[in-house]
Amino acid sequence: MTGNDDQVAQLAKEHLETANSNVLFLQFDELDGAGHKFGYKANNQDYLSAISKVDKHMGMVLRSISERTNINSEDWLTIATTDHGGKEKSHGGQSPEERTVFLIVCGGNVIEGEKKLCSRNYSSSSNGSTSTWN
């Protein structure tokens, strides 16, 4: 699914209402653009507004999943993450701000409330095509 974030969310909603896919991948990219334009700062109102917009999109997608006709016989695993953090108006370096990301996993065999932290070093190629745990 391609388009701006509003279009991606709407297409995902429509797809979830009509299709029986085994996998659905969505990428909301406008938040990254806001970070580049306004800075990746939690005290920056423009950046926080972009986060809020993605949150609304995710809410719409998750509601669409929960409202599926066959939801009681389906086994969904939902994963939300980001591909990088940010520092100032950039990313791609090795700072903690650029390398720290979140990972939210829900459904399947995930144990509710269980939290695990990974202390391994993570690295990826410069073009993002390969990732390795050290």
DSSP H helical ranges for the chain? 5-18, 30-38, 45-66, 96-99
Q: How far apart are CA 27 and CA 1, in angstroms?
A: 9
Distance, CA of 25 to CA of 6 (rounded, Å): 15
Percent with pLDDT over 90 in the chain: 61
Percent helix, strand, coil in the chain (nearest 5)? Answer: 40, 15, 50
Helix (H, G, I), strand (E, B) or coil at 30: helix
Amino acid at 92: G
Q: Domain limits of the chain? A: 5-133
What is the average pLDDT across 91-119?
81
Neighbouring CB atoms inside 10 A of 12's CB total 21
Residues 23-65 pLDDT 10s: 999 999 999 999 999 999 989 999 999 999 999 999 999 999 9
DSSP code at position 72: G
